[in-house]
Amino acid sequence: MTDFISRRLFLSLLGSTAATAACAAPPTESLRPSVRGAEHAKKAIKGADAIVDAAQLNGQVVFAVADATTGQKLEGGNAKVGTPPASVAKAITALYAMNVLGSGHRFSSQLVATGSVSGGVVSGDLIFVGGGDPTLDTNGLAAMVASLKERGIREVRGGFKVAEGALPYVKTIDRDQPDHVGYSPAISGVALNYNRVHFEWRRSGGAYNVAMDARSDRLRPTVYVTKMQIVDRSAPVYGYRDGGNSDDWTVARSALGGSGSRWLPVRKPALYVGDVFQTLARAQGIVLKNPEVVNRAPQGTVLVSRQSDDLRTILRDMLRFSTNITAEMVGMAATAKRTGRVPSGLKASASEMNRWAGESLGTSNLRLVDHSGLGSASKITADDMVQALLKTYDSNALRPILKSFPMRDANRRLIKDHPIQVDAKTGTLNFVSGLGGYMTAPNGRVLAFAIFAADEATRSRISKAERESPQGGRSWNRRAKAMQQQLIERWGAIYGV
């Protein structure tokens, strides 16, 4: 069973410190056995190396912790060794985006008409112009259709086009991921429902009813550009083929059972947005031609413009839910503004962010290959992560939007009223686990910390088909998280009482 530093030990440390101060005055009565003091109690706390060794994670474990106010480095282990950060990289992306775009930045999606607009008739084309908003959902798209109807538009005589060139097209965030995982979709200047489509199946007699839709909490428009076929095979469970103007999926009948659902990634985001918009428009009596994808929109009349939430809100949700597509889109949008041109892809954009981090945060060895941390080729050192946290601590840019990290007991149950408060970003890949952020110790002292663990040798042996749930991955991750908490509790007990 994993050992955790108890609340009783924290209280004993606090009590022993107070008792030591009280015993400093000359005695006025018979002497009693003296309290040994806080330093003696601290010696009972397991050392960092012992905590790491007990986790039995193999591979590499690196960590660093520093006083957030003074910048004093307090403890470290392999702190200059680069390891995959997983989603902890999103904290760097958040800082990058807020610095370059501004925390109040809003992304815009527009409906633009070419030619004349008269009597409710668009004589030319209607163009959906994506502005890089990663948060647009079906409800938002329906609101744009409703606004178009309120403008009196009832007919479009030209074509219907979707302009996606605000950001580069990327077929999948990480090519090493299985084709069917929803957290590695395609990216472009348009996105809908985080570029995921909902697949649902129900067995009726000996046959299955299959539905592909772009559901929200209110709407379930059918999706036609994504197709699913049930086939008789044992493996793989899912298969994907680029159908030109469609995403063509197959699924093994033997894996379906009675009924179920899951989100699948979208590989053709512009066609997906156009398909769903066309369906929603038809429901409002506006008939559009089938969507055509273009890179840039021509000049025209803006009929509808929809703004996203402010960037700070978007980033807060990104850090809370760890949405990869949000990180990639806001990261590339920041690079486009910083350089004055659309980046060629994720790696080029991440390289620009690495340069920015060196200039603005003082990092020295940041080697990220994307903005989400999904690519395992990314490397970060614990020293660099802590340096970024220290550099931005006084501005309070990051800490308020980090997620509260709950402390748990040996059975993974939440510990109420734990004396340490942690605001951090977690990161998880197969045999990779990271945690970085700020911890407030029992005495109110704030520490910046980073902990990364990676068994890259084991990770490299996992086949692509096994990467969604590899053997031994969950138990490894549980041990890594337990180790992270033990290190945090050690630091709270040693440096925060």
What is the spatial distance between Cα 52 and Cα 416, in angstroms, rounded to a whole number? Answer: 25
DSSP state of 46: P
User: What span, in angstroms and rounded, lies between the C-alpha atoms of 468 and 434?
Assistant: 18
375 touches 174 (CB < 8 A): yes
Residue with tokens 């610095």: 99
Evaluate the omega torsion of the peptide bond into residue 236 and state whether it is cis, within 30 degrees of 0. yes
Q: Which amino acid is at 43?
A: K
* Burial track 404-428 (b if 16+ CB lie within 10 A, e otherwise): ebebbeeeeeeeeebbbbbbbbbbb
Angle at 84 (CA atoms; ends 81, 88), nearest 5 degrees: 110
Cα 331 to Cα 405: distance, rounded to the nearest angstrom: 24
Write the DSSP symbol of residue 220.
-
Distance, in Å, from the CA atom of 417 to the CA atom of 227, rounded to the nearest integer, reads: 50
Q: What pLDDT was estimated at residue 457?
A: 94
State in Å, rounded, how far the first CA of the chain is from the last one: 26
Rounded distance, CA 280 to CA 283, Å? 5
pLDDT number for residue 124: 97
CA distance 144 to 215: 16
Task: Give the separation between CA 248 and CA 266, rounded to whole angstroms.
Answer: 10
Q: How far apart are CA 70 and CA 87, in angstroms?
A: 27
Return the structure tokens found at 207.
């046959």
pLDDT by residue (tens digit) across 147-170? Answer: 999 999 999 999 999 999 999 999
Amino acid 7: pLDDT: 52
Q: In 10 A of CB 139, how many CB atoms?
A: 12
The reported pLDDT for the residue numbered 411 is 82
Q: Within 10 A of 317 (CB to CB), how many other CB atoms are there?
A: 16
Count other C-beta atoms under 10 Å from residue 451's C-beta: 27
**Residue 347: predicted pLDDT:** 98
Q: What is the pLDDT of residue 465?
A: 80
The 3-state DSSP class for residue 130 equals coil
**Nearest CA-CA partner of 392 in 384, 381, 380, 404:** 384
Task: Say what the pLDDT of residue 388 is.
Answer: 98
> Quick one: pLDDT at residue 175?
94
What's the CA gap between 299 and 75, in Å, rounded?
A: 58
- Which candidate, 64, 59, 88, places its Cα nearest to that of 74? 64
Cα within 13 Å of Cα(73), Cβ side: 13
- Which pLDDT belongs to residue 41? 57
**Cα angle value 15/18/22 (rounded, 5°):** 130
What is d(CA 304, CA 141) in angstroms, rounded to the nearest whole number? 11
Main-chain phi, psi angles of 451, to 5 degrees = -135, 125
pTM of the shown model = 0.91
Residue type, 106: R
- Give the DSSP H or E segment for 90: helix 89-101
pLDDT digits (tens, 9 = 90+) for 18-52: 443 333 444 444 444 444 555 655 767 899 999 99
Which stretches in the chain have pLDDT values below 70? 1-41, 43
Q: How far apart are CA 453 and CA 451, in angstroms?
A: 7
- What distance in Å separates the CA atoms of residue 417 and residue 422, rounded to the nearest whole number? 12
Helical axes 473-495 vs 48-55, angle rounded to 10°: 170
Cβ atoms 122, 113 nearer than 8 A = yes
By DSSP bridging, strand 160-163 and strand 126-129 are parallel
User: Exposed (0-12), middle (13-18) or buried (19+): which is 49, by Cβ within 10 Å?
Assistant: exposed
Question: Distance (Å, rounded) from C-alpha 496 to C-alpha 16?
Answer: 14
pLDDT for 410: 81
